[in-house]
Amino acid sequence: MAYSLLHGSLSNYWTVNTSTTNSWLANKLIKMRGKVYTWIQLRVGNGVNCRFWTDNWSALGSLQGYFAAGSASRQGIPLTATLSDLNRNGSWTLPRPRSEEMVQAQIALTMVTLGEEEDSYEWVVTGTHTVKLFKRLILLCWKGVIYYLWRERNQRYHNHRFQTSYSLTKSLDRLIKDKILSFRRSSPTTSSSLMQMWVATELIP
């Protein structure tokens, strides 16, 4: 995904929406973020870039998802608020909790002490097999995109033939599905897992 799409902040990956103006691969990666969320953990430093609601900084995971599972609201805390925004002179400035979810969020904050170093991200691999499958799927995407871009370029240059972006996307989707199905004979489990992962992020109606 182009870093410019995230406006220079990986935190925006958790909130950016798919769009017809994005590339096909960028939209595919956005659709996959729920699967990779637990792999990208934010190590809190000064809290300046750590989003309270959406970054993976606490044992509760995404607080936005945690609160959505119950009846709690954001209690006046902006969606883009960072941990630094909620800290004054070393003390946390949160509204009085009106739900069990907010109580748990405040308990999670008491375990955090802001420092001077910058916030940083680290990969946390909890399921090596799943990570390998995801990497394999991304590699298939990249190869497919490169193949069809090169093919389209040659057809336009030599034969003056053009395909719509929708047609290219459908062809690419079919190519990757066929490639995944080709693994069925040698590794049916891998083929099934890859197909489930691919269909879960389907962009073609």
CA 163 to chain centre: 29
Structure-token match 């199905």, residue found: 181
Task: Please say if the pLDDT value at position 140 is more than 60.
Answer: yes
Average pLDDT, the chain: 83
Q: Please give the pLDDT value at position 46.
A: 95
Average pLDDT over residues 34-56: 89
Residue 162, SS3 per DSSP = coil
Contact in structure between 67 and 82 (CB atoms under 8 Å): no
pTM of the model: 0.61
Mind listing the pLDDT tens digit for each residue in 111-133? 899 999 999 988 776 566 777 88
| Planar angle of CA 12, 16, 17, nearest 5 degrees | 175
Task: Please say if the pLDDT value at position 143 is more than 90.
Answer: no
Q: What is the band of 149 on the pLDDT scale with cuts at 50, 70, 90?
A: confident
Q: What is the band of 39 on the pLDDT scale with cuts at 50, 70, 90?
A: confident
Task: Please say if the pLDDT value at position 204 is more than 80.
Answer: no
Q: Distances in Å between the alpha carbon of 84 and those of 9, 30, 121, 174, 177?
A: 16, 26, 17, 46, 45
Contact in structure between 31 and 37 (CB atoms under 8 Å): no
Mind listing the pLDDT tens digit for each residue in 47-66? 999 999 999 998 888 898 88
Task: Please say if the pLDDT value at position 74 is more than 60.
Answer: yes
Contact in structure between 66 and 60 (CB atoms under 8 Å): yes
Q: What is the band of 205 on the pLDDT scale with cuts at 50, 70, 90?
A: very low
Rounded Cα gap, residues 60 and 105, in angstroms: 8
